Structure 1
Amino acid sequence: MLSARHLLVASFSLLATAASAQTQFAWVGTYNPNGEGLYRFTVDPGTGDLRDKTLVSQLPNAAQLTVSHDGKTLYAASEVEKGVVQAWRIAPNGELTALNQVSSGGAGPVYLSLTPGGRHLLVANYVSGTIAVLPVKEDGSLGEASDTRQDSGPAGAGKPEAAVEGSFAISDHNGPHAHMIAADPQGKFVFSTDLGLDRIYQYRLDEATGRLTPNDPPFIAASSKGAGPRHFVFTPKGDGLWLINEEASTLTHYRLDVAKGTLTEGKTVSSLPKEYKGTSFAAGLALSPDGKQLYVANRLHNSIAHFTVSADGQLVRQDDVWTRGDYPRTLTLDSKGGWLYAMNQRSDNITRFRVAPHTGKLTFEPGYTAVGSPSQMVISPTP
């Protein structure tokens, strides 16, 4: 028969094990030299605070990340001339074990995403203007590319026609520059943006082989000349997406034909407040889990534009919130939509905002997380 002391020790051991199992980890990719590689944090569920900062990899310019749907595997792209993607197994205590490293299928990989079924990792390579499909093996490691595609065509307009007065947001309209790639929620179609060519490419995905087939049409033009299409998020129903245009600082809605896998352009709005004049580069965007709140990062203006999505899909501007940092590259919402984080690249910090449950209103939570040149943060899902 166990004594009271033994029962107490056993109870504490079970509680410690349960607490460890529920620990949520945030992974932050950075740019050298200010950032030294890939960092791990623990996330305080009550305050959203990022704690226990640990450098877990010195992979050069490990700026682009994604985590598997079960939270057991982490992938990071090294944004260098001969791009590579590294895969790690995540232990329950957050320790990483390297699985393997493969070519990204091009130069300067700037975006990673997993297909809904988790069988393929999609890569956009900015410098070379190529996209690639990497098979995901049973253990989470990666195979060599099952398909690569090279964007080609005339460069987009040198000056964004839809930018605000006084804007000099002009960059890289000198050839192909793939900026993002992702599959639709069904996993049947793949879309990629090319900032340099002002195009959104449309593909059909063969889930069995990991091969891409150009759709009809194979691409559509950006919403305006020189707009510089960058990142996008799908609606929860998967019947459309919101796309941010970097150079024009505009946000465009596209309807998605879920049977054909083709996009139709809808309404475009500015990501900047109407009184703003001058240069700004729109960057990351995040959609709340219920699809009712949309947040956009504006670099140079250093703000987060907050929109609510009405029942008919229209955007209603609610607020423009100062990030408390410089050059917000990406935004990250936690899985419950209660906290939003801004990666402030030039001020070398991460700031966080409490998200009001019903209105989506952002409130800055005093305190900063020091990280050199943060690019992206992903949060591992909890069991």
Structure 2
Amino acid sequence: MHTRTLLAASLSLLATAAVAQTQYAWVGTYNPNGEGLYRFTVDPQTGALGNKTLVSKLPNAAQLTVSHDGSTLYLASEVEKGVVQALRVDKNGELHLLNQVASGGAGPVYLSLTPNGRYLLVANYVSGSIAVLPVQSDGSLGEATDVQQDKGEPGAAKPEAAVEGSFAISDHNGPHAHMIAADPGGKFVYSTDLGLDRIYQYRLDDRTGKLTPNDPPFISASSKGAGPRHFVFTPKGDGLWLINEEASTLTWYALDAANGTLKAGKTISALPQGYKGTSFAAGLVLSQDGEQLYVANRLHNSIAHFTVKADGTLIHKDDVWTRGDYPRSLTLDKNGQWLYVMNQRSDNITRFRVTSGGMLRFEPDYTPVGSPSQMVISITP
């Protein structure tokens, strides 16, 4: 009897601890439909978003990321003179501005933290530059330790690998940095430039926050005019999948762990077989176990679902209608149970349950929010 009492008490404590952890979803948006940054609570059982609250009116607060412990949110204003804010997250979800610094360029379009959290990496789309911002002990940001400016001839105006009938032509008129991230080991940094059709390769000095161009400093996109956009690393860090915006293709790149250079492998379409016409590929996410890959296709308005085989090849499993228009990005929750879609033009977020084999099942509850761009989830104890 005594043992049963102890067991019941232990289970009660575990349940209380689980309830005590509050999940917040932070959603960045574009003006004018979106008014800034929104906070939602996440139901731990159903994944539903609730208690919508506008917490920042920073103009075009469209890009964000959160510290590994969930205590600090980093928010970029995607404007000509780009700025990045560091915001402390209280237990009740209230935000407190720590400081604001220049993004190192114009139109910051992507933020990511290095694996150890010591640096925030910024890609500035309009200026075609990238920057390294040091993270201070209190979570605030220092001035850039390094800024690199992309230079070169623009890529081809028309994507040669796009499907028949495609007019997916965008910004091949100069440098446009679109994403930046460090490899899982934190030794190397990669950035894409949509306008120049390049993937840049750097070595990162973790002591100084300086970037050194690798050898070679960049590689060309998998096809002319492809428009390299976003990428995800494998859990092992031995390679990455990259989505090409204009071509709507996925390219595999093997990563040499010793020197940090990428080598292009197979390229496949992110669109269903037989599709003709225009579509712009957008965000992509990989499950934590590295077995399920999801890609957002704008205009086709679908989520392409791929399973990853043991040898790293992809099997195109399904194409799921997003139930919205122009899916800009995808977010998986911490446990990989729910996938959220930011439907920019239909001004809503849709939610899918991740079922057996990574298949997606639509949950019929739309979350209204103007021009959603990106969502991150934090857990507050």
What's 2:237 paired with? Answer: 238
User: What one-letter code is carried by the residue in structure 1 that aligns with 2:90?
Assistant: A
1:324 aligns with 2:330: no
CA distance in 1, matches of 2:325, 2:187: 38
CA distance in 1, matches of 2:363, 2:123: 34
What are the ranges of 5 or more consecutive residues in structure 1 without an aligned counterpart? 1-13
What's 2:344 paired with? Answer: 345
1:363 aligns with 2:361: yes
- Residues 59-102 of structure 1 show CA distances to partners (whole Å, capped at 9, x for unaligned) of 00000010000000000100000000011000111111110000
CA distance in 2, matches of 1:32, 1:214: 36
What's 1:111 paired with? Answer: 110
Contact 1:69–1:381 at 8 Å: present in 2 too? no
What's 1:163 paired with? Answer: 162
What's 1:86 paired with? Answer: 85
What's 1:125 paired with? Answer: 124
Helix, strand or coil: the match of 1:368?
strand
Contact 2:291–2:309 at 8 Å: present in 1 too? yes
- Residues 93-124 of structure 1 show CA distances to partners (whole Å, capped at 9, x for unaligned) of 11111100000000000000000000000000
CA distance in 1, matches of 2:14, 2:254: 48
Contact 2:91–2:380 at 8 Å: present in 1 too? no
CA distance in 2, matches of 1:200, 1:381: 33
What's 1:375 paired with? Answer: 373
What's 2:94 paired with? Answer: 95
CA distance in 1, matches of 2:328, 2:115: 25
CA distance in 2, matches of 1:152, 1:103: 21
CA distance in 1, matches of 2:338, 2:16: 26
User: What one-letter code is carried by the residue in structure 1 that aligns with 2:365?
Assistant: G
What are the ranges of 5 or more consecutive residues in structure 2 without an aligned counterpart? 1-12
Helix, strand or coil: the match of 1:24?
strand
CA distance in 1, matches of 2:285, 2:307: 12
User: What one-letter code is carried by the residue in structure 1 that aligns with 2:184?
Assistant: P
What's 2:278 paired with? Answer: 279
Helix, strand or coil: the match of 1:366?
strand
Q: How far has the Cα of 1:381 moved from its partner?
A: 3.6
Specify whether residues 267 and 238 from structure 1 end up closer, same or farther in structure 2 by C-alpha distance, changes over 3 A only: same
What's 1:250 paired with? Answer: 249
What's 2:305 paired with? Answer: 306
What's 2:3 paired with? Answer: none
User: 1:4-19 counterparts in 2 under 5 A?
Assistant: 18=17
Q: How far has the Cα of 1:275 moved from its partner?
A: 1.2
Helix, strand or coil: the match of 2:358?
coil
Contact 1:112–1:123 at 8 Å: present in 2 too? yes
CA distance in 2, matches of 1:16, 1:274: 47
User: What one-letter code is carried by the residue in structure 2 that aligns with 1:366?
Assistant: P
What's 1:39 paired with? Answer: 38
User: What one-letter code is carried by the residue in structure 1 that aligns with 2:166?
Assistant: S
User: What one-letter code is carried by the residue in structure 1 that aligns with 2:76?
Assistant: A
Which consecutive segments of 4 or more residues in structure 1 shift more than 6 A? Answer: 14-17
RMSD: 1.3
CA distance in 1, matches of 2:116, 2:268: 33
CA distance in 2, matches of 1:166, 1:278: 4
1:204 aligns with 2:207: no
Q: How far has the Cα of 1:19 moved from its partner?
A: 6.4
CA distance in 2, matches of 1:313, 1:253: 9
User: What one-letter code is carried by the residue in structure 2 that aligns with 1:360?
Assistant: G
- Residues 156-205 of structure 1 show CA distances to partners (whole Å, capped at 9, x for unaligned) of 00100000000000010000000000000000000000000000000000
Return the TM-score normalized by structure 1: 0.95
Specify whether residues 43 and 154 from structure 1 end up closer, same or farther in structure 2 by C-alpha distance, changes over 3 A only: same
Contact 1:115–1:187 at 8 Å: present in 2 too? yes
What's 1:333 paired with? Answer: 332
CA distance in 2, matches of 1:363, 1:16: 28
User: What one-letter code is carried by the residue in structure 2 that aligns with 1:274?
Assistant: Q
User: What one-letter code is carried by the residue in structure 1 that aligns with 2:359?
Assistant: K
Contact 1:297–1:328 at 8 Å: present in 2 too? yes
User: What one-letter code is carried by the residue in structure 1 that aligns with 2:29?
Assistant: T
CA distance in 1, matches of 2:371, 2:84: 20
What's 1:48 paired with? Answer: 47
Helix, strand or coil: the match of 1:86?
strand
Contact 1:114–1:120 at 8 Å: present in 2 too? yes
Q: How far has the Cα of 1:46 moved from its partner?
A: 1.1
What's 2:173 paired with? Answer: 174
Contact 2:168–2:279 at 8 Å: present in 1 too? yes
What's 1:7 paired with? Answer: none
Helix, strand or coil: the match of 1:171?
coil
Return the TM-score normalized by structure 2: 0.95
Q: How far has the Cα of 1:21 moved from its partner?
A: 3.6
Specify whether residues 16 and 263 from structure 1 end up closer, same or farther in structure 2 by C-alpha distance, changes over 3 A only: closer
Q: How far has the Cα of 1:54 moved from its partner?
A: 0.4
Q: Report the identity percentage.
A: 82
What's 1:261 paired with? Answer: 260
Contact 1:77–1:109 at 8 Å: present in 2 too? yes
Helix, strand or coil: the match of 1:139?
coil
What's 1:219 paired with? Answer: 218
Which sits farther off after the overlay, 367-376 or 15-24? Answer: 15-24
Contact 1:351–1:369 at 8 Å: present in 2 too? yes
- Residues 35-67 of structure 1 show CA distances to partners (whole Å, capped at 9, x for unaligned) of 000000000111110000000000000000100
- Residues 305-362 of structure 1 show CA distances to partners (whole Å, capped at 9, x for unaligned) of 0000000000001000000000000000001110000000000000000001x40000
CA distance in 2, matches of 1:31, 1:253: 31
Contact 1:230–1:245 at 8 Å: present in 2 too? yes
Helix, strand or coil: the match of 1:74?
strand
